[in-house]
Amino acid sequence: MGFRSLKDLEIKGHRVFLRADLNVPIKDGVIKDATRIRETLPTLKYLLEGGASVVMCSHMGRPEGIGFEQAYSMAPVAAWLKENGFDAKLASGVVGEAVEAEAKALQPGQVLLLENLRFEKGETKNKPEFCQALARLADTYVNDAFGSAHRAHASVAGMVCDFPKDRTAAGFLMERELTALGKVLHHPEKPLVAVMGGAKVSDKIDLIRRFIGMADAILIGGAMSYTLLKAQGIAIGKSLCEEDKIELAKELLQEAAAKGTRLLLPLDHVTATEIKPEAECTITQDQTIADGQMGLDIGPETVAIFAQEIRAAKTIVWNGPMGVFEMDCFAAGTLAIADEMAEAADKGCFVVVGGGDSVSAANKAGVTSRMSHVSTGGGASLEFLSGLELPGVVALGQ
């Protein structure tokens, strides 16, 4: 994969700059879901137990980049680390002489958590002087923030070149992501089936193109399927449709046919006149959606056909729900497909779930723990699977 693993590093007595994803939901100063912190703990513990001290950092939300903003402070994360047994303290800022002194004072086994990186405009602008200021805080660089790897920001990409090549590595979470997603892209066991959903074809053009010619079948549900159906001249009522992407949809259908990838669209739909939890639902008789109705989930015939493909697969990648699964009346299709994928994983199929909505759907179906790999990086996993280069990954490989 072209990156160094954490286990390739000599860490005893070193001070490690650990870029993590600690962008957790906080309300009234209290962390509501610490999943992202927990995901990076194996890396943090390995470093500390190996005799390193750690300068840890992350962004949090979207501050203006003009200095300290209490609502976006990393203080609750520092408190969480302390409560969970870590010898951790919050730095007085992000960079500068005072922070450098705090970093130098660290003893092996101690953690200094920097304030929110985005308090400084240099983070998102990837300014060289800010990169250098961050790099002065440590002698070793480890990136465990796969969810931010698609951003060309200072802490993710820009500062990495300020460390010797043999002093940079991917953390355990980053390595797990790159290995699992890389397996799908570079040496999947066939048949390979891609299950795609979500609102817009335009969001998934690169992803669809990447899997055309590579996947044996692409199963498309969700609102993006209505643009593709309309491109075939099928009536879609008042379903969501990207009118300006009809020609592109025709191209994708032709491309799939030419390259031998079966592109399967819904054969029936769950429809309603409006998106409301109490909406009166109808199941269509075929692919056609009546005037005044909108498609909001795949129907039972589609579930059956998609399930057949999933059961025959040896590798599956899932990105995007089959409908408005957040409402129970439109969730049956997505949950049924999630169950089928969990069954496939139980039988040895390699099943990768990527993208925030897919992860939420897997959680709702109660099958997350049964999947082979659940990606933590929404936009990053989408871009990586689409074959795009991620700045954070490229930097680690240089």
The catalytic residue among 65, 93, 356, 378 is 356
CB contact at 8 A, 86 and 112? no
Which residues contact residue 71 at a Cβ distance below 8 angstroms, ignoring those fewer than 6 apart? Answer: 61, 63
CB atoms within 10 A of CB 121: 13
Looking at 121-270, list the stretches that DSSP marks H as alpha helix, in order from N- to C-terminal side. Answer: 121-125, 128-135, 172-186, 205-211, 224-231, 246-259
Which of 15, 19, 36, 136 is the catalytic position?
36
Tokens coding 336 = 């049924």
The catalytically annotated residue of 125, 200, 209, 364 is: 200
State how far the Cα of 78 lies from the Cα of 382, in Å rounded to an integer: 30
**Is there a catalytic annotation at residue 379?**
yes
End-to-end CA distance of the chain: give it in Å, rounded: 12
Q: What are 168's strand-pairing partners? A: 141
Q: Are strands 140-143 and 15-19 parallel, antiparallel or unpaired?
A: parallel
> Active site includes 356?
yes
Distance CA 127, CA 152 (A): 11
Q: How many CA atoms lie within 13 A of 254 on its CB side?
A: 7
Distance of CA 97 to the CA centre of its chain: 35
Burial group, residue 285, by CB count within 10 angstroms (0-12, 13-18, 19+): exposed
Token pair for residue 111?
């953690």
Which candidate, 385, 312, 327, 395, places its Cα nearest to that of 354?
Answer: 385
For 307, phi then psi, to 5°, come to: -60, -40
Angle at 200 between CA 198 and CA 205, to 5 degrees: 105
Say whether 295 is catalytic: no
From 96, 182, 379, 397, active-site residue: 379
Spatial distance between the Cα atoms of 390 and 86, rounded to a whole number of angstroms: 31
Question: Which residues form the catalytic set?
Answer: 36, 200, 356, 379
